[in-house]
Amino acid sequence: NGRTHVIGVVCHDITDPLVSYLLTAIEAEAEKQGYHLFICTTYSGPMEEARQGDAYINLLHEKRVDAILVFGERIIEAEDYLADCPEVSFAVAAGITAKGTVCTASLDYFGAGVEAGEHLASLGHREVAFLKGPHSSKSVERRQAGLREGLKKSGAKLITVGEDSASPFDQAGYEGITTILASHPTVTA
């Protein structure tokens, strides 16, 4: 019937706790259904993730996989793969896409930000720092907006740090914390 019984997976990093947990569950169910996974990881920096992800999706399409799972919001935000592979079934495992042809399971980044902001405010925090990082994405923007909304009810202030850093993530985080401690001594969370 033209099936390969292979499901392609494109993800940024299989060591991400959420991704590894989902991959374990997906692989177990795929095996029960007689399918195998073909996993491609981008591991590159955020600026290259979409380009590399698109290349992997094209490779999986050429290999005629039955479906493709995508974990990686920069890949999903690009959405070029929808035009390239119209006959392949896509399940986008994280992120939000505007196209109706893709099955999407998304995290509620805004809602989680609101809950975090409300929780921090309930603990008495009035100045909260947000380490945005050098490479913004829709999920980061949603998380930040939700946090700001959750803090707003109590009059707490959100300070964003790290937007201009060109350092790798771990170094940018260190630089962001150092900046907060030096320039915003009243931050408590």
Q: Is 38 exposed, middle or buried (0-12, 13-18, 19+ CB in 10 A)?
A: middle
pLDDT at 127: 93
Q: E strand or H helix at 150, and its extent? A: helix 138-152
Give pLDDT tens digits along the chain (189 positions): 678 899 888 887 788 787 888 889 999 999 999 999 999 888 766 667 777 877 888 888 888 888 888 877 666 665 555 555 555 555 554 444 444 445 556 678 889 999 999 999 999 999 999 987 656 677 788 889 999 999 998 999 998 876 655 555 567 678 778 888 888 899 999
Contact 106, 143 (CB under 8 A): no
Residues in Cβ contact with 92 at an 8 Å cutoff, skipping those fewer than 6 apart: 69, 70, 76, 102, 103, 104, 105, 106
Contact 149, 112 (CB under 8 A): no
Whole-number Å distance between alpha carbons of 92 and 142: 18
pLDDT at 134: 57
* Structure token pair of residue 93: 């495992």
pLDDT at 135: 60
pLDDT at 99: 47
Q: What count of other Cβ atoms lies within 10 Å of the Cβ of residue 59?
A: 14
Q: The sheet that has 6-11: what strands, in order across it?
A: 36-41, 6-11, 67-71, 89-94, 103-104
pLDDT at 149: 94
123-170 residue pLDDT tens: 999 999 998 765 667 778 888 999 999 999 899 999 887 665 555 556
pLDDT at 151: 95
User: Whole-model pTM?
Assistant: 0.61
